[in-house]
Amino acid sequence: MTMHRLPFLFAGLLLASCQMGGSGGQQSRYLAAYGPRNSQRASTDPGAAVPDDTSYWAGDGKTGPPSIRINLRQQKAYFYKGAELVGVSRISTGKEGHDTPPGTYKITEKDRDHRSSVYGIFEEIGTGRVVNDDADMSKDKVPPGCKYVGAPMWNFMRFTGGIGMHTGYLPGYNASHGCVRMPDKMAKVYFDNVTLGTPVIVE
């Protein structure tokens, strides 16, 4: 092998090693579709997110107190200013056993860069290699030499307990641990237009 080919061979081996690890080389669904801040963890999961062709926002310049109505059956979140509907977002709510609870709530916290304290990944310290891409801190222990990294929940809008609306992976069905996942563009605009105390009705 000629010497001038060695750098290219090394680069190829390095690229291959960086793409390995985790569960069969796949990244967690929790880490999929979170926009530019997570571009280095793009999902290789074959169950790609369903394209969003129903969400919209028409609330700029509109006045009136904000409120949100979440329809579990339709998997939609409706945004109102006063009595006027100004936005609709496709969502993914809690899966069976982790149902999003119906009720009347209010926004109690806004956190643009929120991460889960319960669900996420275990990654190897120093290398960043994912050793568990579906970690649950309520039952899993962090392996030696690893650390826990909470699932990103950007644009988090808490409305009851540990449950809130946030940017997340939308496979086209109920898939969360109780939170209301939204497309990133819609989570951002909802986040920007709610205040602490904004009513949230889940039905």
Find the catalytic residue in 114, 146, 166, 177.
Answer: 166
How far is 174 from 115, CA to CA, in rounded Å?
20
Find the catalytic residue in 114, 146, 177, 179.
Answer: 179
- C-alpha distances in angstroms, 132 versus 4, 81, 158, 187? 39, 42, 27, 27
- How many residues in the chain? 203
The structure tokens 């699932």 sit at 151
- In the residue annotation, 166 being an active-site residue is answered as yes
- In the residue annotation, 179 being an active-site residue is answered as yes
| Position 180, amino acid | V
How far is 163 from 30, CA to CA, in rounded Å?
15
* Residue positions annotated with a catalytic role: 166, 179
